Amino acid sequence: MRRTIAASLAGGLAGLLLAACHADVTLPAEPVVPGAVLPANFPAPVYAPDANPPSAAAFALGRSLFYDERLSRDGSVSCGSCHQQAVAFADDGQRLSQGVRKQLGTRNTPALQNLRWKSEFFWDGGPKNIETLPLAPITNPVEMDETLANVLRKLNADTDYPRRFAQVFGSGPIDSYQLLRALAQFTAALTSANSRYDQAVRGEGGVVLTAAEQRGRTLVAQKCASCHATDLFTDETYRNNGLNASFEADSGRAHITSRVTDVGRFKVPSLRNVELTKPYMHDGRFATLEQVLAHYDHGVVASPTLDAALRPTSGPLGIPLTTAEQTDIIAFLRTLTDQDFIRDQRLAEQP
């Protein structure tokens, strides 16, 4: 935290000093590339900015690609079709999402936020690098159902992309390296760290939580933070949270590791913007946060890999929560909604 403050102070000084050198330079009110400055209350990122230094042109190129339906086989869906900014880049209200030819996926679309801090992606952790992650949705038959070679062909035949890629990467045909690096400029920029909660913990603008929100915060710290840890509100592990007695339909993490101990385990999602990202769980079975908390209170189902945190030494499975506690927890969860993130025009599809 201290280091980050020092860095931003130094950055400010650098700007001042630069301005002293070039008197005609005016500093923009906010950086051109969102997410280029790391939030002070977050841990160290996995994909640090210097791994793919943010630049305005590369970010804008990544944004165009993210919202371009030509990444799909029949030109019907873009990344943005199922990852909508208004709901923290989840799929608004959809239990499962539609790919090309209106095919349904098999799991609930996760929010895209704070991806810089993830070393493994998806509900099962199959993809392991933010740059190469898009290969999965592009080639998945029920998502974009396209080949990388075809995407590159389309981009190279476009009237505008070759010029824009050349501006960032130098001349030559657009290749997979350029495509993936450009996309990562955008996806890594999707930083959500300016909720009321963030402002309160950073002591910004005199923001304070209400009494109910503060009680909820304490409850989350006591009862939820063993999984929804740190200010990212996830520990990035895979856990069986008691949704089913068996997992024939979707074995979760075991699909990747082939280990029986991973059957029924799914990635712990962040609680950030959780108010917006309904429905919940890997299969989108719960429509409301109330239903989610009711599940943890009295809906947990036993199975061999059920997480230890949901198996108390005495009493029923799950996490007992009174009605009043559930109300306070939901009040707190709503403080994690980041209006700046969902309204940032720089992250929106450009006209």
Contact residues: another protein, CB under 8 A: 2-3, 5-7, 9-10, 13-14, 17-18, 20-21, 51, 126-132, 135-136, 138-140, 148-149, 152, 175-177, 180-181, 184, 255-258
Query: Considering the complex, what minimum distance in angstroms separates the CB of residue 253 from another protein?
Result: 11
Least distance (Å) between residue 51 CB and another protein = 8
Integer Cα distance of 192 and 196 in angstroms: 11
Nearest approach in angstroms of CB 265 to another protein is 15
In Å, how far are 5, 37, 91, 150, 165 from 110, measured between CA atoms? 31, 24, 8, 26, 29
Q: Toward another protein, which CB reaches closer, 150 or 214?
A: 150
Nearer to another protein, 119 or 222 (CB): 119
Cis peptide before 312 (omega within 30 of 0): no
- How far is C-alpha 114 from the chain's CA centre? 5
Task: In angstroms, give the least distance from the CB of 126 to another protein.
Answer: 4
CA 230 to chain centre: 15
Rounded-to-integer distance, Cα 316 and Cα 337, Å: 32
Q: How far is the CB of 81 from another protein (least distance, A)?
A: 19
CA 241 to chain centre: 20
Q: How far is the CB of 192 from another protein (least distance, A)?
A: 22
Residue with smaller CB distance to another protein, 129 or 214: 129
Closest to another protein by CB, 10 or 211: 10
Q: Is 19 left (phi over 0), alpha (psi -120 to 50) or beta?
A: alpha
Q: Residue 205: left (phi > 0), alpha (psi -120 to 50), or beta?
A: left
Which of 209-223 are b and which e, b meaning 16 or more Cβ less than 10 Å from the residue's Cβ? beeebbbbbebbeeb
Q: Do 200 and 207 form a contact (C-beta atoms < 8 A)? A: yes
Strand intervals (E) in the chain: 238-239, 266-267
Q: CB of 141: closest distance to another protein in angstroms?
A: 11
Residue with smaller CB distance to another protein, 146 or 344: 146
Give the nearest distance from C-beta 197 to another protein in angstroms: 24
Residue of 130, 133, 132 lying closest to 118 (CA atoms): 130
Rounded to a whole number of angstroms, the minimum distance from the CB of residue 143 to another protein is: 11
| Residue 2 or 102 with smaller CB distance to another protein | 2
CB-based contact 78:152 (threshold 8 Å): no
Closest CA to 35 of 14, 53, 15: 53
CA 81 from centre of chain: 15
Measured from the CB atom, is 23 or 249 closer to another protein? 23
Distance of alpha carbon 221 from alpha carbon 118, whole angstroms: 21
For another protein, which is the closer residue by CB, 201 or 317?
201
For residues 158 and 297, which CB has a smaller minimum distance to another protein in the complex?
158
- The SS3 assignment for 240 reads strand
